């Protein structure tokens, strides 16, 4: 800097450039937050909104997660509800049976420690925390078999905790559902 004046100019230029960059940064951040809010409100996809609790030490005795109520059920409105539990080191049912092209609600919880459900090739992904009920909406476009590993460390047998999801044709599922009861891959 040769003179005091040009030194001063330089400082002003620096401040102006900085301000511009800061403004651009803030605009990017606000735009991101607004996009997330918009998509959330339109329910394109969003994390689980509600908190529901359950007592893991009484799961097998009464309520929604007794063994006879686990599996898939066709509701009267045509939707399907799947109830499942995770425990060291398996899921019940180990293989979930669901129809393609149908709105499905997955309701699940843990009977002991923290587990997670992740269905590969989809964005179905939720934690199973003992004491709380996880709920996930899902819908499968294609029939086929999907792997469903436990995605959270649940002690020494974690690496062996893999479940499956079998997606079958909608009419075939409806046929099987006629008999009532809760469906899984058993007998498939």
* Burial class of residue 36 in the structure, from the number of CB atoms within 10 Å of its CB (0-12 exposed, 13-18 middle, 19+ buried): exposed
In whole angstroms, how close is the CB of 50 to another protein at the nearest point?
7
Chain centroid, CA 170 distance in Å: 22
Q: Is 6 in the site for another protein (CB under 8 A)?
A: no
Q: Is 27 in the site for another protein (CB under 8 A)?
A: no
Q: Is 9 in the site for another protein (CB under 8 A)?
A: no
Q: Is 21 in the site for another protein (CB under 8 A)?
A: yes
Q: Is 28 in the site for another protein (CB under 8 A)?
A: yes
Return the residue of 40, 78, 103, 181 that touches another protein, per CB under 8 A: 40
For the chain, how far is it from start to end, CA to CA, in angstroms?
Answer: 82
Number of residues this chain uses to bind another protein (CB under 8 A): 68
Q: How far apart are CA 25 and CA 32, in angstroms?
A: 11
Give the Cβ contact number of residue 173 at 10 Å: 20
Convert 100-120 to b/e letters by CB count within 10 Å (16 or more is b): bebebebbbbbbbbebbbbbe
- Looking only at residues 111 through 170 of this chain, which bind another protein when binding is defined by CB under 8 A? 112-114, 116, 118-121, 123-135, 145-147, 149-159
What is the SS3 assignment for 187? coil
> What is the contact surface with another protein in residues (CB under 8 A)?
10-11, 14-15, 17-18, 21-22, 25-26, 28-29, 32-33, 36-37, 39-40, 44-53, 55-57, 88, 109, 112-114, 116, 118-121, 123-135, 145-147, 149-159
């Amino acid at each position: 800097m040769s003179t005091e004046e040009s030194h001063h100019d330089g400082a002003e230029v620096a401040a102006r450039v900085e301000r511009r960059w800061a403004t651009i940064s803030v605009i990017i951040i606000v735009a991101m937050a607004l996009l997330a809010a918009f998509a959330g409100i339109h329910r394109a996809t969003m994390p689980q909104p509600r908190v529901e609790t359950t007592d893991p030490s009484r799961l097998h005795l009464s309520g929604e997660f007794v063994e006879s109520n686990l599996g898939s059920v066709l509701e009267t409105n045509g939707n399907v509800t799947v109830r499942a539990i995770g425990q060291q080191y398996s899921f019940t049912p180990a293989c979930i049976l669901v129809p393609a092209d149908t709105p499905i609600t997955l309701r699940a919880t843990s009977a002991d420690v923290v587990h997670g459900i992740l269905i590969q090739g989809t964005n179905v992904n939720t934690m199973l925390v003992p004491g709380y009920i996880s709920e996930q909406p899902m819908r499968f476009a294609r029939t086929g078999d999907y792997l469903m590993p436990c995605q959270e460390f649940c002690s020494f047998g974690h690496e062996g905790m893999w479940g499956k999801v079998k997606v079958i044709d909608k009419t075939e599922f409806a046929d099987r559902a006629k008999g009532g009861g809760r469906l899984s891959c058993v007998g498939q």
